[in-house]
Structure 1
């Protein structure tokens, strides 16, 4: 920190600025310089000691929501210390600042509300969104994660309570890939909620009205996108947890106009594809020989199916034939061409065959090599489902990807037990190791955190003009190529989360290479792209 950094701040304000506050780590000289003598105890602590103190505080708490709140308060008062804690042990802290704990935090948002973070843009402010965006103190925003709160994880419409998702996602941009936090802005678009209990809750903090739909909603989104372009021309917009009826059209409308992507559609697809590449290294099979059956037919399912199809096409399969190797099954059964309830984005995966209303029967008819759960309905991968998959595959691929843990289609223990240890397993939420017949299986977590922070770092370092579908295939391959044989032998098909920063910087380098190759960068190509990525990465250390 330099004296110029604190110009205009009195000492009291400095201690409440999370970006510059060091707390007890301010030296005696700094305390005199900034006029904060007497505002702190005289003891001077190192950053390492502060981290140890946070660990001790966390160890005295008996549930994860309390730990989430402690970390949220820390982020609000000392950003450097917050990231020093997270980046020191990412595998341990990701489940606390994001899934699964963030789901409970979003559900209880209005009852545990503390210091505000990010921006809340209500539809009642239409016509003034640029003004409200201008209230954000940082004038060079590179990343916005935005939600309208309608489909938070697998929990549904939580209104403004969904803000925990953008906040958590952006924390992972920094903790997992080193994107500097000052460039990140979480936003909630408040267009109302259709959840009656929220509208009746006296503590609810959002608009007390039903959700706005149609042309008025579309115009609100358009105004928001334009305001972002006007104020932050180098900004990438990540759409998060929008309902299918809005998520798909928004992405289609803006993907070729501005730098933007939808993590639920594209990030989920990429981490699933990375899992496929990892699984195939265990089974020894080719991607183009696989057949996948999805439980769930929304934007996540079609996003994964389309990215898999495009990856198959890159390996020589005709794109129509590739799409034919992916099938969708929802509450009304297998998606077949005779159904009249299919949306446009679902039709490329509809089967020209008689309807099937039972998932096990669909497995027997289609003989998939893998099943992927994105239904948000727990326990649908029951014993009959897993046994049916094990009957037709030596190494069945079982991916229950729904979040949070309470919504997972099956547990790791169920998948391994019912398949007699033959399943290649990954889930959306974390599960503990499984001990079965003298073997220990380490379940992989197909968490988007392997993709979106690294993609963000690549976009930040290159100042990319667009995010393309091919970038997600590049990212998926880059994730999978970092899984060593010892890791695969334990059943884990993703890199260990303890190596998340190194993994993300590797993925970011691969994506950045592609960005430069395609002429999408707004900066000059350096001789060493990996060095560029590493040089841009945030480090949680106090400056002098």
Structure 2
């Protein structure tokens, strides 16, 4: 039986503990009516409404706090949300958005881990069936390390769930609440003992099933949907209902579900985000919160954040400005950080910076969920982003990874350049894409032969992805040949909307395009550029579909026995060409990879498997490597280390099928190797902070990966 209510304050006294010297208020409460309720005195439990001193205090948003008179014992105001509940099994439950750790869910629970000055706030006594209820107890000082979550018997999670569990509630106040908490809910997998211990009896059908059977049922149901967006919505609903089952599905069926929870389906989900919006996911920081961003960050229930993915929604995939509806991208990215890289879900924070949108269709859409104004620019934009970056550092520390995602070119380069020396920042569109493409080139060279310096490269698209890839290729060539970076850049050419980027255009070029302006006469289109440059590698990052035409592919096949063609633009509708087109037009000779997935193609009796140059190969393991090493900055050599680790996972069997990337079915193993390489480079460069240095970084990374198996609760 669960009682909930708020008790009245009877008396407050003060005394000091000799050990820590901290003053604590003595709370005298009385519990009346217990015997009348048929309760044994020893079965009666208690709880107090507590406030405690944190690093930064927030005012209690009640009128009484504003009018309260100062006293000799006046303390800072309480945190904003504070709720207390009663139970009968000597078990107390508290809720607070500032609480750092959950209570032990045993028969006898422990007090809060805050041996600092505390104060009490109460209103009036509660009633149950007309009977008055009050509480009597004394608050005491406890050891800070004595706090654990609902105790799991098997301890499956390498990341130790007690560090992160329970957003919003410290502990579950009832079985009904437990079934609605995605971090703890197991649905029909709760066994008989757990149903009795956690007040679930009667709230579930009598049968008990395994997690494996639940997984089988969900996959059966997902496969009934014909529309990918319906599967996406079903997966998002599952994530909000049963977190462990969601990640178990994603890990065990990654090749089938990755295109659902991320590209290409997430693009359509973002376009329709307002109309399909069900549950708020992540933090929304808009211009309305300017000057209050630190306060907004405090509203997020978790303190131990390790990875943040943030977007302003201006360049979502190849779909353009989707404003606030770009939240689907950070949510999807962080789902992959957990499923593929093993970062604990409660250590991940998706953020959307809403500065408006220039998308007229969204501004006129009644279901649009963001600010209805034109996009902010200039100083207004810069000040908001600067406040956000400083607030993140103040709230979560220097070692939290901030991943910039789908910012427009002009902002993406400026933000990365501005903050890479002061924060742990990473731009997936610039650096992540570059790293995964370089790994694909390493794989392709195993098929066609030669070194990077012996090949020439032509890019269609000179935005953040294209120039980021080009810079990392040039950097790797420079390391291999010991040639200056300025020389290796000359092996790389780019075509933008105005044609080949050449020296005569340099004065009119954006700053990030200028290093790629080489001496050559002007060329107006891609086909003529191919005929003039004769590249061995063609890379598309334009965001414009169907630009690798039959003539373009045939021209590449004319100059090369095995042309390397990478159509990287997402989603599928924006891909420069399909796998079938590349193989057919090159007569089966192309080495092909794309940003979005394509099915294997049979050509001339041989099955050709296109590679997917998906950033999901890199960023989960890359982020894990930064986390396990405690890296404080991202260095370009870490990106090269990640590329090398990924390329090493490609087997000869993969290469025989034309694959330049390993299959996604091994992604957790791949991520562990990438994490180990990145962490090793961090230690080598002196950028790591977690010591002692683990001897076997691969095993260490694997041991820390989140494992979404069900735990048994006492």
**What TM bracket, shorter-length normalisation?**
over 0.9
Aligned equivalent of 1:350: 517
Which ranges in structure 1 are unaligned for 5 or more consecutive residues? Answer: none
Q: Name the CA distance, whole Å, in 2 between partners of 1:125 and 1:78.
A: 31
Where do 4+ consecutive residues of structure 1 move more than 3 Å? 1-4
Aligned equivalent of 1:253: 418
Q: Which of 307, 312, 315 is 1:151 aligned to?
A: 315
Q: Which of 497, 500, 509 is 1:331 aligned to?
A: 497
Q: Which of 373, 382, 386 is 2:540 aligned to?
A: 373
Indicate the RMSD between aligned Cα atoms, in angstroms: 1.1
Q: Which of 421, 429, 433 is 1:264 aligned to?
A: 429
Q: Name the CA distance, whole Å, in 2 between partners of 1:461 and 1:342.
A: 40
Q: Name the CA distance, whole Å, in 1 between partners of 2:525 and 2:702.
A: 50
Q: Which of 390, 408, 415 is 2:575 aligned to?
A: 408
Q: 1:178 Cα deviation (Å)?
A: 1.1
Aligned equivalent of 2:131: none
Aligned equivalent of 2:455: 290
- 1:287-343, Cα deviation, whole Å (9 max, x unpaired): 111111110011111000000000001101321111111111011111112114311
Contact preservation (8 Å) 2:306, 2:400: yes
Q: Which of 149, 158, 182 is 1:5 aligned to?
A: 149
Q: Which of 653, 665, 672 is 1:505 aligned to?
A: 672
Aligned equivalent of 2:195: 31
Residue correspondence of structure 1 range 527-542 to structure 2 within 5 A: 527-542=695-710
Aligned equivalent of 2:34: none
SS in structure 2 at match of 1:170 = helix
Q: 1:534 Cα deviation (Å)?
A: 1.2
Q: Which of 158, 181, 184 is 1:17 aligned to?
A: 181
SS in structure 1 at match of 2:318 = coil
Q: Name the CA distance, whole Å, in 2 between partners of 1:182 and 1:205.
A: 25
Q: Name the CA distance, whole Å, in 2 between partners of 1:12 and 1:463.
A: 39
Q: Which of 257, 269, 278 is 1:93 aligned to?
A: 257
Q: Which of 209, 215, 229 is 1:65 aligned to?
A: 229
Aligned equivalent of 2:271: 107
Q: Name the CA distance, whole Å, in 1 between partners of 2:434 and 2:191.
A: 48
Q: Aligned pair 1:243/2:408, yes or no?
A: yes
Aligned equivalent of 1:202: 366
Q: Which of 105, 121, 131 is 2:295 aligned to?
A: 131
Q: Name the CA distance, whole Å, in 2 between partners of 1:2 and 1:475.
A: 41
Q: 1:507 Cα deviation (Å)?
A: 1.2
SS in structure 1 at match of 2:503 = coil
SS in structure 1 at match of 2:149 = helix
Contact preservation (8 Å) 2:495, 2:525: no
Aligned equivalent of 1:321: 487
Residue correspondence of structure 1 range 342-491 to structure 2 within 5 A: 342-491=509-658
Q: Name the CA distance, whole Å, in 1 between partners of 2:529 and 2:395.
A: 50
Aligned equivalent of 1:79: 243
Q: Name the CA distance, whole Å, in 1 between partners of 2:428 and 2:294.
A: 24
SS in structure 1 at match of 2:357 = coil
Q: 1:79 Cα deviation (Å)?
A: 0.6
Q: 1:531 Cα deviation (Å)?
A: 2.0
Q: 1:2 Cα deviation (Å)?
A: 4.9
Relative distance call for 1:114 and 1:467 in structure 2 (3 A) is same
SS in structure 1 at match of 2:188 = helix
Q: Name the CA distance, whole Å, in 2 between partners of 1:380 and 1:357.
A: 14
Q: Name the CA distance, whole Å, in 1 between partners of 2:589 and 2:317.
A: 29
Q: Name the CA distance, whole Å, in 2 between partners of 1:149 and 1:491.
A: 35
Q: Which has the larger radius of gyration?
A: 2
SS in structure 2 at match of 1:120 = strand
Task: Using the TM superposition, name which of 422-431 and 346-355 deviates more.
Answer: 346-355
Q: Name the CA distance, whole Å, in 2 between partners of 1:59 and 1:264.
A: 31
Q: Name the CA distance, whole Å, in 2 between partners of 1:444 and 1:387.
A: 20
Q: Aligned pair 1:181/2:181, yes or no?
A: no
Q: 1:39 Cα deviation (Å)?
A: 1.5
Q: Name the CA distance, whole Å, in 2 between partners of 1:104 and 1:255.
A: 32
Q: 1:10 Cα deviation (Å)?
A: 2.3
Aligned equivalent of 1:166: 330
SS in structure 2 at match of 1:375 = coil
Q: Aligned pair 1:523/2:690, yes or no?
A: yes
Q: Matched residue pairs, number?
A: 544
Q: 1:40 Cα deviation (Å)?
A: 1.3
Q: Name the CA distance, whole Å, in 2 between partners of 1:375 and 1:332.
A: 12
Q: Name the CA distance, whole Å, in 2 between partners of 1:484 and 1:530.
A: 19
Structure showing the higher helix proportion among its residues: 1
Q: Name the CA distance, whole Å, in 1 between partners of 2:669 and 2:242.
A: 24
Q: Which of 142, 166, 169 is 2:306 aligned to?
A: 142
- 1:351-385, Cα deviation, whole Å (9 max, x unpaired): 22221002111111111111110111111000111
Q: 1:8 Cα deviation (Å)?
A: 5.2
Q: Name the CA distance, whole Å, in 2 between partners of 1:136 and 1:374.
A: 36
Q: 1:350 Cα deviation (Å)?
A: 0.7
- 1:501-528, Cα deviation, whole Å (9 max, x unpaired): 1111111111111111112111111122
- 1:181-213, Cα deviation, whole Å (9 max, x unpaired): 110010100000000010001111100000000
Contact preservation (8 Å) 2:306, 2:401: yes
Q: Aligned pair 1:300/2:465, yes or no?
A: yes
Q: 1:177 Cα deviation (Å)?
A: 1.6
